[in-house]
Structure 1
Amino acid sequence: METTHLGKTSALPDSPEKAILDYVPNPRPGQRYLIRFAVPEFTSLCPVTSQPDFAHLVIDYVPDKLIVESKSLKLFLGSFRNHNAFHEDCTVSIGERLFTEMKAEWLRIGGYWYPRGGIPIDVFWQSGPPPSGLWLPDQGVPPYRGR
């Protein structure tokens, strides 16, 4: 399967909309397992002040026929650095795009946002109930205490 980024020099996309996510065949089709991406240094911009916002994202998914290629995911997530959006929109749009394009069996994302104005905001989205019998570990991000 041809990929856009893997093994090639790739620039950071100008925006999440312009980012191309690559998907490759699931190497273990028919096997139910969980894939986790931890993104402890996610950044975006506040849509009101254009000040930077920081989050620790945890993306868990159960693949079907495809898995997301990690370099393309890194570039997609990096494209949010110059993107103005509320925490809720960033978190949910990432989850929805991955789930929809990849046609995963199940996906959840936890957005653990660092405080702005003294209030941390945590945003959670999932595609539906987790598959039965799935080992689903805790996302491992403690409640806010200086994370």
Structure 2
Amino acid sequence: MTTDVSGLSQLGAQTAQPTSPERAVLERVPNPHPDELYLARFTVPEFTSLCPVTGQPDFAHIVIDYAPQDWLVESKSLKLFMTSFRNHGAFHEDCTVAIGKRLRDLLEPRWLRIGGWWYPRGGIPIDVFWQTGAPPEGLWLPELGVPTYRGRG
């Protein structure tokens, strides 16, 4: 089975780091199994963005789960999109939900959820979760596998 990769601008090419999430190009490829119900997971354990007030770096562990329909996200474009937040100032909630909405709009999946486990800012960790609705019946949902922040003790 061959996947149609025509029209992709980043895969197999040297691609500059996007300067912002708005300028990042997210690409998709046809799902070779559009009639199957399954889950695809992307884990970004070293996500970074900037505090919109202080400009200091923020760090998170992001997990994206989605049940594809007609489209899959092209992984190189997703990596570039995720790293485009490194110089982007936004609150934790905004980053997490914006990533989920951008993927939802691009892929039109059966279902999508995103979890953001943010490391403490001002002594308080913030965890942000968003999903498109109830998961489809019969979809296997593995545990997210990211513990809440406990510090060193």
TM over 0.5: yes
Gaps of 5+ in 2: 1-5
Shift of 1:63: 0.5
Which 4+ residue blocks in structure 1 deviate beyond 2 angstroms? none
The 5-angstrom pairing of residues 27-42 of structure 1 reads 27-42=32-47
Shift of 1:41: 0.3
The structure with more strand, counted as a fraction of residues? 1
Shift of 1:146: 3.5
CA–CA distance in 1 between the matches of 2:129 and 2:48?
Answer: 17
Question: 2:19 is paired with a residue of what secondary structure?
Answer: coil
Instruction: Count how many residue pairs are aligned between Structure 1 and Structure 2.
Output: 147
Pair 1:123 & 2:128 matched: yes
Q: CA RMSD in A?
A: 1.0
* TM-score of the pair, normalised by structure 2: 0.94
CA–CA distance in 2 between the matches of 1:78 and 1:91?
Answer: 13
Aligned to 1:22: 27
Pair 1:54 & 2:59 matched: yes
Aligned to 1:112: 117
- One-letter identity of the residue aligned with 2:70: K
CA–CA distance in 1 between the matches of 2:101 and 2:54?
Answer: 26
Aligned to 2:3: none
Gaps of 5+ in 1: none
Shift of 1:37: 0.2
Question: 2:117 is paired with a residue of what secondary structure?
Answer: strand
- One-letter identity of the residue aligned with 1:39: V
Pair 1:77 & 2:113 matched: no
Question: 2:66 is paired with a residue of what secondary structure?
Answer: strand
**Could you report, residue by residue, the CA deviation over 1:38-67 in whole angstroms, capped at 9, with x for unpaired residues?**
000000000000000000000000001000
Aligned to 2:142: 137
**Could you report, residue by residue, the CA deviation over 1:39-97 in whole angstroms, capped at 9, with x for unpaired residues?**
00000000000000000000000001000000000000000000000000000000001
CA–CA distance in 2 between the matches of 1:37 and 1:10?
Answer: 21
**Could you report, residue by residue, the CA deviation over 1:4-23 in whole angstroms, capped at 9, with x for unpaired residues?**
11000001101000000010
Question: 1:119 is paired with a residue of what secondary structure?
Answer: coil
